[in-house]
Amino acid sequence: MAEEPDRDGGDDLGEDKETIRERARADSRWHPVYLAVVVVTALVIAALWAFSRAYSS
Amino acid sequence: MGLLDWIVVVAYLAYIIWSGVKLNRQSQDAEAYFLAGRSLPWWAVGLSVMATQLSAITLVGTTGQAYSDGMRFIQFYYGLPLAMVILCVTAVPFFYRARVFTAYEYLERRFDARTRSLTSFLFLVSRGLGVGVIIAAPSVILSIVLGWSEAATVFAMGLSTTLYTVVGGVQAVTWTDVKQMFVIFAGLFVCLFVILSKLPAEVSLDGALHLAGAAGRLTTVDTTFDLKQTYTLWSGLVGGLFLMLAYFGCDQSQVQRFLTAKSVDEGRTSLLMSAFVKIPMQFLILLVGVLVFVFYQFERPPLVFNAVAERRVAEGARASDYAAVGAEYTSAHEERERAAVAYVRARRGGDERGRERARAEYVLADGRFNAARQRGLTLVRATGGDANFTDVNYVFPTFVVANMPAGIVGLIIAAIFAAAMSSISAELNALATATTIDFYRRHYRPDADDRHYVRVGRAATAVWGVFACVVALYATSLGSLIEVVNRFGSFFYGSLLGVFVLAVGVRRARARGAFWGLLAGMLSVWVASLYTDIAFLWFNLIGCAAVVAVGYLLSLTDRRPDANGAETL
């Protein structure tokens, strides 16, 4: 049975493991930004809810 | 529309066509024509992402929806930011680093040519018809409100957009999208300020919002869990999340936007721009509609905003019934106006009990006014034989033409054109890319030179542009066609998302599972739409879940390896 595809996809893109690890490190720098998006979205929905409550009651 | 308005609209059209066509020189090879040489800055791509999503019917329809139903539509977008985060982790790096032209090209690397061709074909059929509807819907509205010929409006929008998209490729699409977003924002802000300036002196923005709130127009969060309700917090967060994942991650018209970015990080930033801006922008659009509602507290609005439908009933066999409803409507409006003024005054100077009483009287008066309007709409439905008749899409253009000053009418009509053209150009460019790359290059001429594919791409754009105009001309006379196209789109989106989830997130998934899973997903959505009352946003979740379940189970029975072993999570 042939091997399953490489989990990192390195074979397909012709890149070595070090490049892939470097890229994963670079990608991980985005995690705080993603968290910020989720937090800001929650705050925006809460603000809209408060706006709605303030003017509807 | 006066001379000044015409000058504004014609100047807008001339400027956009010129600025798109002049990018011809930068679009001479395939990567430049289809992907702008992967060279565009994040802010231009981000604005293009938003411009593509914001069609004329979104701009006109949601303002009308805010007028009649309030802000609850905003919940539709609550899942968008989370979808953007998921796509930044998955689709953006996967597609960008795979150096593909289309999202479907990736599916061949992961599965096989059959899955790629089927998904690309579904995109072509769905979007080919959909772009016709994108042209038809505002054309019908503008023809009724402004008295323009439907065919002239279809060709003014469709062919002018086709012209600059054919010549300038994706560069023209993106840079005209940027300019069009500025026109749309300018139109919205000017409209907002003009409405506020036209309210009675004693009605401030705060007072206007209290009137809207009392009339139930400011609901932005509805926590009811009901699968039959279209706009709730849950349908927005869950159904909306899946819809946005499918739209931004699997629809070539959006995937192509972030593939034109300079780098993976710029592609990510462009999507995150939407994550931050989209909900506030939609709030602004809905706020315009809510303020139109407040404006019409102090001016009598038309009983029916579609003038053609109103004329038909006013001059038909039930003219006397309609006149009676009209008189009742006028009286209800006068009563509501008095109650609105009393409520505003009570809020400024009255005591707590006086405010409560004035508010309760205003709410009652608004209820009587709405009941009179519903009777008018029921008469129109009975006379026209169209049980689904609604005039929501006519509210905003009718208001603009009747109440905005000279020049501003032109600016807002230009903004409606901008919203339509920015979506049409991206769709045409994506249709041409999928036709050229997924079919022509893949199956017919795999080894032609770059300039040949640009020529084919240009021809494909022109053919799709003409096809869209022809569909639009038919769609203007066949209302049900629009519904068919939208329904077909909802069958397709969640299922397509399921195939990409299998491709990116399920290592065990195989080509046979993906292909049959896709068909099973579409079938399950079709069955759900036939035998349940579930709101359409949930179809995306159903389709996706069915594809992943069927695809995974079938893949377990398949012991063959993948063809190419493309990147997975």
When pLDDT is cut at 50, 70 and 90, the band that residue B289 belongs to is very high
Q: Decide if B52 contacts B203 (C-beta within 8 A).
A: no
Model-level ipTM above the cut of 0.90 = no
Q: At B40, is the secondary structure helix, strand, or coil?
A: strand
Cα distance between residue B202 and residue B241, in whole Å: 42
Neighbouring C-beta atoms of residue B406, cutoff 10 Å: 12
User: What local confidence, expressed as pLDDT, does residue B17 receive?
Assistant: 94
The label of the residue with tokens 């501003």 reads: B408
pLDDT tens digits, residue range B448-485?
888 999 999 999 999 999 999 998 888 766 554 445 55
Closest listed residue to residue B36, CA positions, set B209, B248, B260, B322: B260
Please list every residue in chain B whose beta carbon sits closer than 8 Å to the beta carbon of residue A55. 209-210, 212-213, 218
pLDDT tens digits, residue range B37-84?
999 999 999 999 999 988 888 888 889 889 988 999 899 899 999 999
β-pair partners for B261: B40
Q: How many residues does chain B have?
A: 569
By CA distance, what is B363's nearest residue in A?
A: A56
- A49 min Cα distance to partner chain B (Å): 6
When pLDDT is cut at 50, 70 and 90, the band that residue B141 belongs to is confident
Please list every residue in chain B whose beta carbon sits closer than 8 Å to the beta carbon of residue A41. 78, 81-82, 275, 279
When pLDDT is cut at 50, 70 and 90, the band that residue B382 belongs to is confident
Q: Decide if B419 contacts B184 (C-beta within 8 A).
A: yes
Q: Decide if A46 contacts B207 (C-beta within 8 A).
A: no
Cα distance between residue B425 and residue B405, in whole Å: 30
By CA distance, what is B272's nearest residue in A?
A: A37
Q: At B127, is the secondary structure helix, strand, or coil?
A: helix
Closest listed residue to residue B301, CA positions, set B365, B370, B211, B367: B370
Cα distance between residue B485 and residue B463, in whole Å: 20
Looking at every residue in chain B, the average pLDDT score rounds to 89
CA B197 centroid distance within chain = 29
Higher pLDDT, A26 or B177: B177
Cα distance between residue B306 and residue B323, in whole Å: 16
Looking at the complex, does the CB of residue B272 fall below 8 Å from at least one CB of chain A? Answer: yes
Q: Decide if B525 contacts B514 (C-beta within 8 A).
A: no
By CA distance, what is A29's nearest residue in B?
A: B265
The label of the residue with tokens 């709405």 reads: B370
Chain B interface mutation, best of A4, A40, A49, A52, highest count of B Cβ atoms under 10 Å: A52
pLDDT tens digits, residue range B207-236?
999 999 999 999 999 888 887 777 888 988
Higher pLDDT, B231 or B33: B33
CA B344 centroid distance within chain = 35
CA B394 centroid distance within chain = 16
- In whole angstroms, how far apart are CA B64 and each of A47, B44, B150, B452? 24, 29, 21, 46
Q: Decide if B540 contacts B239 (C-beta within 8 A).
A: yes
- B107 min Cα distance to partner chain A (Å): 13
Write the Ramachandran bin of B339: left for phi over 0, alpha for psi from -120 to 50, otherwise beta: alpha
CB contact under 8 A, B213 and A4: no
Please list every residue in chain A whose beta carbon sits closer than 8 Å to the beta carbon of residue B209. 55
Pick from B78, B214, B507: CB nearest A7: B507
Cα distance between residue B516 and residue B270, in whole Å: 34
Chain A interface mutation, best of B218, B223, B562, highest count of A Cβ atoms under 10 Å: B218
First and final C-alpha spacing in chain A: 67
Chain A interface mutation, best of B84, B279, B359, highest count of A Cβ atoms under 10 Å: B279
- B349 min Cα distance to partner chain A (Å): 17
By CA distance, what is B275's nearest residue in A?
A: A37
Q: Decide if B111 contacts B504 (C-beta within 8 A).
A: no
- B447 min Cα distance to partner chain A (Å): 21
